[in-house]
Amino acid sequence: MSFAAWAIAMSWISACNAVVHDIPGLLAPIQQLGTQSGVDATAYFKAKPGDFVHPGIWHTHEDLERMRDVFSTDIYSQSNYTMQGPKAYLSRGAISNYSSFTYDVRAAWQNSLMWYITQDQAHWNLTSDILNAWGSQLVDIVGTDRSLLIGLEGDLFVNAAEIMRWEGNWTEAGAAWYGGSGFSNQLYWLFSRQAAVIGQANYGMISIKSLLSFAVYLDDVDLYNYAINAYINDRCASVFSLYHPSTGQSSESGRDQGHSISGIGWTALAAKTAQSQGSDLFKLGDNLLLKGSEYSAKYNLNYTVKYDPSWFRCEAVLVDGPWAEISEQGRGISNQRPIWDMMYYEYVVKRGLHAPYTTQASTAEGFEGRVFSNVDDLPSWGSLVFAY
């Protein structure tokens, strides 16, 4: 290309009134051939945009009605929280600058809940400001671990927006009939389309859970069905590839207990979104996810469990695997890995199933307040937001 042609192209691009200046490279998803699970994934698919339930990601309208304001004193629940962003570029990897986004999206999510609970306009205003600011200023997400950033922070981000849009009548800045430059534009290009290449194990399940959330907000039938199929059939990241069919051993159990436990939470959050849409993924594989919870709870309560060294994650070599023995790293029950209430309420309280170790773990961890370390990993507040 000549310099003159390049200059013309650059002037044309700069004249375009769009926040996303360049469409990320779209890598086609790897198609799954057949099924490894024996489950007909199409039974959980959507047929048209009107099939989506709103609000319907982690919290339905009925869920919100059950909530109380026990977390009203948390710093991220305050309407006078000071926004840390926005920034044009976010990176997670060797160079990381995403903490401002982490804090802002948590404040947006918790303030959206506070607005619903209290109907205080100040909470609505703060959440709106955060969603609009980041939705109108973010240009790109980069770095080797951007899928984690997209799947963790991005999920909280869209959950806040879902509540605001469908319960608070929020209309995002930049919305227009010809295609906007605000939140939905960012969600479509920078979040959902970059997460569509699903990785392995927990990394992949984080993408799956966030894709389900993004698809619901966007009423994207194809994306939703793609993520549902991955949850069931992906050979490296599905619920059937993460947990041993007999024992519930995690494919990350030999790596460390932090990833084993957190993975249960991420898998449950994906199932929670599907549940809000009328599909029960929690029951798949004869309650396989509960088996996973029982296995990890038992081991982390200092009991002995059976370990199969042949059950490990895809590409385990990337994280110094596979592993001959179950890992002691990070062993123990802590409310800084807040997954036990979510599992307890879903399987024991709601379904009446016997889960002695999950029940013990829920009791042992105590109150699930906000996570103070790895504040982006899990939503926390389980006894409040996931109780029935």
Q: Which residues pair with 239 in a beta bridge?
A: none
Q: Where are the alpha helices (DSSP H) in 277-365?
A: 284-300, 340-343, 356-365
Q: Which tens digits make up the pLDDT trace of 339-388? A: 999 999 999 999 999 999 999 999 999 888 787 777 678 888 877 777 76
Q: What is the pLDDT of residues 290-340, one digit of tens each?
A: 999 999 999 999 999 999 999 999 999 999 999 999 999 999 999 889 999
**Per-residue pLDDT tens for 232-275?**
999 999 999 999 999 999 999 999 999 999 999 999 999 999 99
pLDDT of residue 214: 97
State pTM to two decimals. 0.86
Cα dist from 97 to 86, 101, 103, 149, 307, whole Å = 11, 9, 12, 11, 38
What is the C-alpha separation between 229 and 217, in angstroms, rounded?
A: 18
Res. 60 pLDDT band, cuts 50 70 90 = confident
pLDDT, tens digit (0-9, with 9 covering 90-100), for 130-155: 999 999 999 999 998 999 999 999 99
Furthest CA-CA distance within the chain? 72
Q: Per residue in 84-100, pLDDT tens?
A: 999 999 999 888 999 99
DSSP character at residue 72: T
d(CA 154, CA 160): 10
CB 374 within 8 A of CB 336: yes
Give 197's Cβ-side CA count (13 Å radius). Answer: 10
d(CA 186, CA 180): 10
Closest Cα to residue 109, out of 101, 362, 192, 175?
Answer: 101
Q: How far apart are CA 133 and CA 111, in angstroms?
A: 15
**Helix residue ranges, H only, 138-254:** 146-167, 183-186, 193-195, 201-218, 221-233, 239-242
Strand partners, 56: 60
Judged against a pLDDT cut of 90, whether residue 62 lies above it is answered with no
pLDDT at 279: 97
Which pLDDT does position 6 carry in this prediction? 43
- Whole-number pLDDT of residue 34: 60
Q: Which of 385, 379, 377, 367 is nearest to 107 (CA)?
A: 379
Angular region, 253: left φ>0, alpha ψ -120 to 50, beta rest: alpha
Residue 9 pLDDT:
45
Burial class (CB in 10 A: 0-12, 13-18, 19+), 57: buried
Half-sphere exposure of 135 toward its Cβ, with a 13 Å CA cutoff?
A: 25
Write down the residue that tokens 């490279």 correspond to: 25
374: left (phi over 0), alpha (psi -120 to 50) or beta: left
Task: Tell me the pLDDT tens digit for each residue of 160-202.
Answer: 999 999 999 999 998 888 888 889 999 999 999 999 989 999 9
Give the pLDDT of residue 221: 94
Rg of the Cα trace of the chain?
A: 21
What pLDDT sits at residue 29? 58
Nearest of 51, 44, 58 to residue 220 by alpha carbon: 51
2 band by pLDDT with thresholds 50, 70 and 90: low
Structural contact between residues 218 and 179, judged by C-beta atoms closer than 8 angstroms: no
Q: pLDDT tens digits for 21-59?
A: 555 555 555 555 566 678 889 899 999 899 999 998 887
Residue 179 CB neighbour total at 10 angstroms: 11
Cβ contact 253:245 at 8 Å: no
State residue 18's pLDDT score.
45
